[in-house]
Amino acid sequence: MTLWNSCSNVTERRLDYDVQGIDISHYQKNIDWGMVAEQGIDFAFVKATEGLTYRDSFFCKNWSQMEEQGITKGAYHFFRPTVSPYLQAYNFTQTVHLKVGDLPPVLDFEVIGSQHRIGIISNIQTWLSIVEEVYNIRPIIYTNQKLYRKYIQGNFDDYPIWIARYNEEVPDMPFEQTWAFWQYGDKGQLEGIEGNVDFNVFQGDLAALKSMTLSPADTISSYSYSDIKKYQL
C-alpha cells in the first residue's frame, strides 16, 4: 500500500509508540523475516489478494515465515469497488487461512474507479459482512484520511480503522471513533528488506494488540463458491 506520496526523505521510526509494525507485498520481494523480527517489529500486514482473482505471488512465503519468527501477522485484500464484492470476498477467504493469534482480515480501500458513493459503501459493507461471517471476527478497514472522511466516517463506526497519514500529525478522527493502526510513512528502511517499506504503529500496548487477534473461542467457518448466492439474493 503506497499510493499516498510523502516527501522523498527516509521515514524515521516513531519510537513514541510501543508497538511497531510494517506492511508488505510482492514489491518487497524476498524478505529476511529473522532480521526483521530482531529490529523490534511486532506485527506485519501482508497483501494476500486483489480484486476478483489476483493472489500476491509472495503471500504464502511471507505468511509462513512471519509465523516462524513469531511476528503477529495479518492479511489484506486490495478492494476494487467496481467489481463484485462477493467474488472478491471469495478470493480472499479461499486464499487466507487464519489461525488463533492472527490479526483480523483487512479491507484495503484506496481506489474508487467509476463507482458512485452509495455503490461503493454498499460493496464495502458486503465484503466486510461476508468476511466477518467466515472468520467470526470483525475486519479492519484500511484507507487514507480523504477517503475515510468521504466514505467510511459515519458508515462503519464499529470497525477498527487503519489509516494512512504521512506527516507528523496523528490521524484526524471524528467524535468517538479512533484509529487502531497508523501508517505514517512509506519510505522506511529495515535490514532484511531491500528498498522501502511502509512503517506503522498500533495505538495500544502488546496486550491490546493480542486482544484484537483470533482467540480459541473463534470458529472459522468453511466457505464455498455456492455460499455466495445467499448474499446475492
Q: Residue 192 CB: number of other CB atoms within 10 A? A: 17
CA separation for the pair 34, 224 (Å, rounded): 35
pLDDT value of position 48:
98
CA separation for the pair 185, 34 (Å, rounded): 22
Let me know if 172 is a catalytic residue: no
Collect all residues with Cβ–Cβ distance below 8 Å to 46 and sequence separation of at least 6.
23, 24, 25, 56, 58, 59, 62, 63, 66, 73, 74, 75, 76
pTM for this predicted structure? 0.91
pLDDT value of position 221:
67
pLDDT value of position 223:
59
* Domains parsed from the chain with CATH numbers: 19-232 (3.20.20.80)
List, for residues 218-229, the tens digit of each pLDDT value: 666 665 555 665
pLDDT value of position 219:
64
CA separation for the pair 72, 91 (Å, rounded): 23
Active-site residue, from 18, 32, 110, 227? 110
10-residue mean pLDDT series, the chain (233 residues): 57 94 95 96 98 97 96 98 95 95 98 92 97 95 95 94 92 84 96 96 97 83 60 50
Active-site residue, from 23, 102, 186, 198? 23
Residue appearing with cell numbers 476478483: 52
Let me know if 23 is a catalytic residue: yes
pLDDT value of position 224:
59
CA separation for the pair 125, 106 (Å, rounded): 13
